[in-house]
Amino acid sequence: MRKLRVGIIGQGRSGRDIHANTVIKLVNDKFEIAAVCDLILERCEPSQKDTGCAVYADYRKMFKDKSIDLIINATTSEQHVPVTMKILDAGFNVLTEKPLARKTSDVDKLIKKAVEAGKVFAIYQQSRFAPYFTKTREIIDSGVLGRIVMVKIAFNGFARRWDWQTLQCMDAGNLRNTGPHPLDQALQIFGDTDPDVFCIMDKANSFGDAEDHVKLILHGKGHPTIDLEISSCCAYPPYTYQVYGTNGGITGDMKHLDWKYFKPEEAPEQELITGPMPNLAYCKEELKWYTEKWDASAEEANLFDNMATRFYNRLYDTIVNGAPLAVTQQEVRRQIAVIEECHRQNPMPVLKRT
């Protein structure tokens, strides 16, 4: 099996802890690190020590190595578009971290450039492969819950932040930092039609000027309502997923799901009563409920490694064998359109920096 030679731009939390560690520890049968780059050269030392790779402070010097098969753009968020454009211009396949862009118009420019260059352009949306999500989709698709009326998704917790990912000028905030994960999942459940969007955002505990509390509703005729929260102000996060269906529902988190449902053919026959109920009674019936549960295996419970491995294996298949991208550019564009609309509805005051 041919190993793909990888260059990584950025050796911060994403570039080192996610991408370099994934290549070194999880998918080293298919990928190997050829070079890493960071403005702070000391950050490159762990990857160089582990692999003996080349080290650069200027990513453009990495472009001289034409043996590289894939360059990963793990720069800060506001650099995702311009640096990805330069990688494609230089003739390399590219994997870009999320959030991909601020605007759909920038996504369109990147897609056009990738087509012109004839290169693979992928976006790191690994949560598509989260075991709890794939299990939730499996239950929904089985039909046992009936028609799905609403799906509540909560990526909540309590945290105060004061790093660059709290600054609007760096394309930060909860919706762009964390939001691409649950939003990608939500749009898969919603369906192919573009949703109507209603959003409320607030800056509460953040020390920067970007939002850290998001309430997002996606809705449309013939589609389930999606109720999505991404809040850093939730001291008691109750669930990750709740699904409301006409025959039952799901509740649970990233490691455990419970669901129950009844079978319509086993339910008592009822007829609509338009007049007064006899004996002042209230509608009541006994339904036979079926209950099931899912617990993540030890491998599935190691969520980040599980998702990363599955994503990278699919990306290898795309680059080497021409398989379709697991997460398409148009799917990410649709996600960016929702985020763009949320920010249009919620303009946030910009922090004056000294």
Query: Could you read off the pLDDT of 96-147 as tens digits, one per residue?
Result: 999 999 999 999 999 999 999 999 999 999 999 999 999 999 999 999 999 9
Query: For residue 222, what pLDDT is reported?
Result: 96
Query: For residue 354, what pLDDT is reported?
Result: 59
Distance CA 142, CA 122 (A): 30
Query: For residue 268, what pLDDT is reported?
Result: 94
Q: How many CA atoms does the CB half-sphere of 11 hold within 13 Å? A: 22
Give the tokens for residue 56.
């650069």
Whether the predicted pLDDT of 280 surpasses 70: no
Query: For residue 67, what pLDDT is reported?
Result: 97
Distance CA 314, CA 164 (A): 31
Average pLDDT over residues 8-28: 96
**Residue 279 banded pLDDT, cuts 50, 70, 90:** confident
**Residue 278 banded pLDDT, cuts 50, 70, 90:** confident
Q: Which is higher by pLDDT, 278 or 248?
A: 248
Query: For residue 300, what pLDDT is reported?
Result: 92
Query: For residue 16, what pLDDT is reported?
Result: 95
Whether the predicted pLDDT of 274 surpasses 70: yes
In the chain, the domains with their CATH numbers are 4-124 (3.40.50.720), 128-303+336-345 (3.30.360.10)
* pLDDT tens-digit readout, 36-72: 999 999 999 999 999 999 999 999 999 999 999 999 9
Residue from 208, 205, 199 nearest 168 by CA: 208
Whether the predicted pLDDT of 281 surpasses 90: no
**Residue 332 banded pLDDT, cuts 50, 70, 90:** very high
Residue from 153, 136, 130, 151 nearest 215 by CA: 153
**Residue 284 banded pLDDT, cuts 50, 70, 90:** confident
Distance CA 226, CA 179 (A): 14
* pLDDT tens-digit readout, 174-224: 999 999 999 999 999 999 999 999 999 999 999 999 999 999 999 999 999
